Amino acid sequence: MLPHFEALDRKMDFQTIRAIRTTRGIHMLDSVIKLTEKITELLQYRNERRARQFKILIEPTYLALKVVHQDYLSIFETARKELASGSPLSTVADLLESRRLEEEAERRAIIEHAKTMRLDKSLADYHSFFDAIIQYFRKTPFSGGSTPSNSFLHSLRDAANSQPLIQTNAPSGRNPRDSLVNATEHSLQMLRKNWEIVSTEYAKVLAASIE
């Protein structure tokens, strides 16, 4: 083969190789772009799903519990004032019983909702939040009952049944009524602490939903 033809063949081979490499590079770049787009779509879908779940499951539950929490605080504040003022224990118990029953159905609904969501494995990212809600109702300084106000009423009713003892000073010289006042103070502290835990978990979920 003549030299100039050999040079031409080599030039064509180089051009072919370059074209193949260029084509491969384009295909690789295209694949990377498509992969990036797919990842972006998945991330966007995940974020949108989190946002929807937050709006549908988390926020309404938190706001409903907030109303219940404020009601609890009001109940215990009322109890503290009435006890300190010397009102008969049976009167205080009747007053608190009527207050407690006003939102009993909503309280029960929140507890059952939190328990159901806690068992859903697909909502694992929110289990800590629902755990905090469940513990909010479980952690109470009074024994018996399943909610703070119900437990307190049991203690108050028991004390009312021992009214003669409550209205007189104990051998130590301290009026046992003061123990109930202190119990309401302790209960208020516990409720605020438990609410703070719920709010912390809520803030975490909120932050994750807007990432």
> Out of 31-35, 87-91, 156-160, which region has the weakest mean confidence (pLDDT)?
31-35
The closest of 197, 65, 185, 208 to 124, measured between CA atoms, is 208
Residue-wise pLDDT tens digits, 49-74 = 778 888 999 999 999 999 989 988 88
Contact 82, 99 (CB under 8 A): no
Distances from the Cα of 7 to the Cαs of 14, 15, 20, in angstroms? 11, 12, 20
Residue 142 has pLDDT above 50, yes or no: no
Residue-wise pLDDT tens digits, 90-102 = 888 887 778 777 7
Q: Quick one: pLDDT at residue 51?
A: 81
> Can you give the pTM of this predicted structure?
0.68
Q: Quick one: pLDDT at residue 127?
A: 95
